Amino acid sequence: MKVFGNKKTSAQVLNTEPSKNSNSMATKQIRYEALVKALHGDLYRYGYWLTHDKQVAEDLVQETFLRAWRALDSLKDEKAAKSWLITILRRENARRFERKRFDMSEYEEANIMDTQSTSTEQEIENQWLRDKIAQLPPEYSEPLILQVLGGYSGEDIASMLNLNKNTVMTRLFRARNQLKDALEKEPEKMRLIHE
């Protein structure tokens, strides 16, 4: 896609092929800024659910975007940007484990986000659900996050996680099933599902 003129929408910017740009550095900068603005929130949340730690999630997102900047020319399709970034973030997270090997398997309640002191009923519900999501085994919670938060289909998730689709669907079933079991153990929360 060749773009004439100076005014570029972010979609055009993201879609511009670097090889055709006379001023590739400036265009790269614009593409990068568009990417950051559009997707940093999704990526941060994904990082948060992967690590259950605000600070680590932020670091991961920073690393991810830094790598994305370096490899930006390889991103050709704007629609693929988000899953491309998620893939980078997952790789960064894996690297973090290789580097530090600190034990994240033990879920610590204190780490899970405690949102503001404005404890509305809504917030209490959210917090309860967050705890339950965080208690899911990571192989169940990750596809669930990608599906619910990322809006990805079973096929998309399968290809992002290098799994076959049946495995992904089974894990999604188990994830929701476990959450529902947790609800049933606490009858006062049942309205979450029945409301």
User: At closest approach, how far in Å is the CB of 4 from another protein?
Assistant: 26
Q: Is 54 in the site for another protein (CB under 8 A)?
A: yes
Helix (H), strand (E) at residue 169: helix 165-185
- As measured in angstroms, the least distance from the Cβ of 172 to another protein is 4
Please identify which residue in 10, 12, 62, 83 interacts with another protein, judged by CB under 8 A.
Answer: 62
- Say whether residue 172 binds another protein (CB under 8 A): yes
How far CA 174 is from CA of 4, 92, 102, in Å, comes to 51, 27, 27
Q: Does 36 bind another protein (CB under 8 A)?
A: yes
Which residue from 173, 172, 170 is spatially nearest to 143, judged by alpha carbons? 172
Q: Which two tokens stand for residue 149?
A: 């938060």
CB-wise, 104 or 144, nearer to another protein?
144
Region of 5-13, 61-69, 81-89, 96-104 interacting with another protein (CB under 8 A) = 61-69
Under 8 Å between Cβ of 39 and 84:
no
